[in-house]
Amino acid sequence: MANPLVSIAVPVAGIVAAQIGNRAAAAGWGAVFGEDAPTVKAQKAAQKDAAQRRKQAKKDGRSKAEIDQIKDPEDDEPIWKMLLWATVSGVILQGLRMGAKRGAKKGTERLTMRRPRPNRG
């Protein structure tokens, strides 16, 4: 049976590593490309903004052709950037997560390991 501290520490380490890795990857993306990283959250926000602009255009009485020209900026994103982000956010973050889990498991086991009884033969 596994030590309960190990079974608590390992998933927590994975979650923390994923959060830190996501933030670091997004910051690195911003530093390299000068734009927000194409995360799911950013894509949903862009879709919501485009829908809001279309709705406002309808209220303003613009023509159907003008409303159809309002597009989601994420649709113009090059495919290589999407593939690069998928690689960065998938492979690299999974590696960070696995490393954190292994380190937490070894560290917690080492801290909670019982010493063998002394040999008093």
Tell me the pLDDT tens digit for each residue of 70-112. Answer: 887 777 778 888 888 888 888 888 888 888 888 888 888 887 7
Rounded Cα gap, residues 84 and 91, in angstroms: 10
* Whether the predicted model's global pTM rises above the 0.75 cut: no
Q: Residue 8: which pLDDT band, with cuts at 50, 70 and 90? A: confident
Phi, psi of 80, rounded to the nearest 5 degrees: -65, -30
| Contact criterion met (CB below 8 Å) for 25 and 89 | yes
Rounded Cα gap, residues 105 and 29, in angstroms: 31
